[in-house]
Amino acid sequence: MGANMEMAIDLGKWKSYVVMEENVIVVKEGYTYTTKEGFSAFFEEVDNPKIIVEASSNTNWIANMFEGYDLTVAHPAKVRLISQSVKKTDKNDAHTLMDLYKKDYLPKSYLPIREVRDARDLCRDRALAVRQRVAIVNKIKYHAFCLGIDVKRLGKKNRKILGNEPKLELLLRQLDETDATIGEYDKRIHDIVQNGKSLVSHYARLIDTIPGFGPCASLIIAAEIGDINRFHDEFRLFSFAGVVPRTHQSGDNEWKGHIVKGNTFLKSVLLQCANIHTRFGKSSIVTYWYEENRDRIGRKKAKIASMKRLLRIIYWMLKRDEEYHDQ
């Protein structure tokens, strides 16, 4: 088959519906298993097709499977806004993707390169282990409180005391295993930041020069941002991170609401780093602004504004490919 082959895939967990067109003519369509073997059998005679899919929980797996192909990922929420259909079927969804693509109306979603996707997965897996550790620590403190033992920190001394309680022995062992797992994640992240040759490693090394940012936080921010050039200006990055308020306007009236949701992984690590940066980066213009304005506008709003200023610094550091320096 020719080189102008285009394939729209409505992804399903077990089966996917595929529409194949060549020069605007449907040449093949139907269901196939959502596996590498299933897709290979469906278009084994096609050379380098253009593939259109909708972003979903399977996107990373699909991107790895079709590595090297011309892959276009559609933004699911925006596709639904453009094409609202009463009759929603796998076949209709696949044809809708194809029609929007041909008319150049398809709202595209950013698909990071393999190194960025792998770094994101590593950092998010570490975040899961950290959340599990917090849950275990809270459970230990709860059981200790029920036993009449007041524990604020689980240092070596308190762990030794709690280790004598049979009810807490397994939880303490689980905590040790989780700590060891987090330590392994930290080693891998440090190795990527220090020795990696990819763009995300380079970005992480630049971000790591900011006071209050360690290797883990730097890699998380670099991986979630991806290619900085996909943001045409710093304000698009602010919106992506969720550090700007919602704006409501009607006539001459305009008011601002709560900040947008944004990327929760990026926002949470920025908040942690802003807290450290404003405590220890005394020569930073961000710290100076925070200390000048926190009493006037409140600590919470001042912290969000500090996050935004740090993100602006990160944006221009990556754009200009330069390390951090005090203003």
- The string of pLDDT tens digits covering residues 200-223 is 999 999 999 999 999 999 999 999
85/126 same-domain check:
no
How far apart, in whole angstroms, are the C-alpha atoms of residue 34 and residue 25?
Answer: 24
Identity of the residue numbered 65: M
Q: What CATH number does the domain containing 36 carry?
A: 3.30.420.40
Domain extent for 164: 114-195
Residues 17 and 60 in one domain: yes
pLDDT at 261 exceeding the cut of 90 = no
What is residue 251's predicted lDDT score, i.e. its pLDDT? 67
Left, alpha or beta for 151 (phi > 0: left; psi -120 to 50: alpha)?
A: beta
Q: How far apart are CA 18 and CA 161, in angstroms?
A: 62
For position 60, what pLDDT does the model report? 81
**What's the pLDDT score for residue 81?**
57
Checking if the pLDDT of 84 tops 80, the result is: no
316: in domain: yes
For the segment 40-59, the average pLDDT, to the nearest whole number, is: 81
> pLDDT class for 125, splitting at 50, 70, 90?
very high
Work out the average pLDDT over 250-269.
78
Evaluate if residue 22 carries a pLDDT over 90: no
User: Which of 11-25, 29-43, 114-128 has the highest mean predicted lDDT (pLDDT)?
Assistant: 114-128
Same domain for 187 and 120: yes
Question: Which of the pair, 141 or 185, is modelled with greater confidence?
Answer: 185
- Judge whether 211 lies within some domain: no
- Is 71 in the same domain as 161? no
Same domain? For 17 and 92 the reply is yes
- Is 251 a domain residue? yes
**204 in any annotated domain:** no
Q: Which of 102, 126, 157 is the last residue of a domain?
A: 102
Sort residue 226 into left (φ over 0), alpha (ψ -120 to 50) or beta.
Answer: left
Structurally, the chain folds into a number of domains equal to: 3
**Do 240 and 306 sit in the same domain of this protein?**
yes
Single out the residue in 102, 132, 166 at which a domain terminates. 102
Instruction: Identify the band that residue 185 occupies on the pLDDT scale cut at 50, 70 and 90.
Output: very high
The Cα–Cα gap between 146 and 41 comes to 61
What's the mean pLDDT in 248-262?
Answer: 69
Average pLDDT, the chain: 86
Domain C-terminal end among 44, 70, 102: 102
What residues contact 134, with CB distance under 8 A and at least 6 apart?
none
Assigned domain for 231 exists? yes
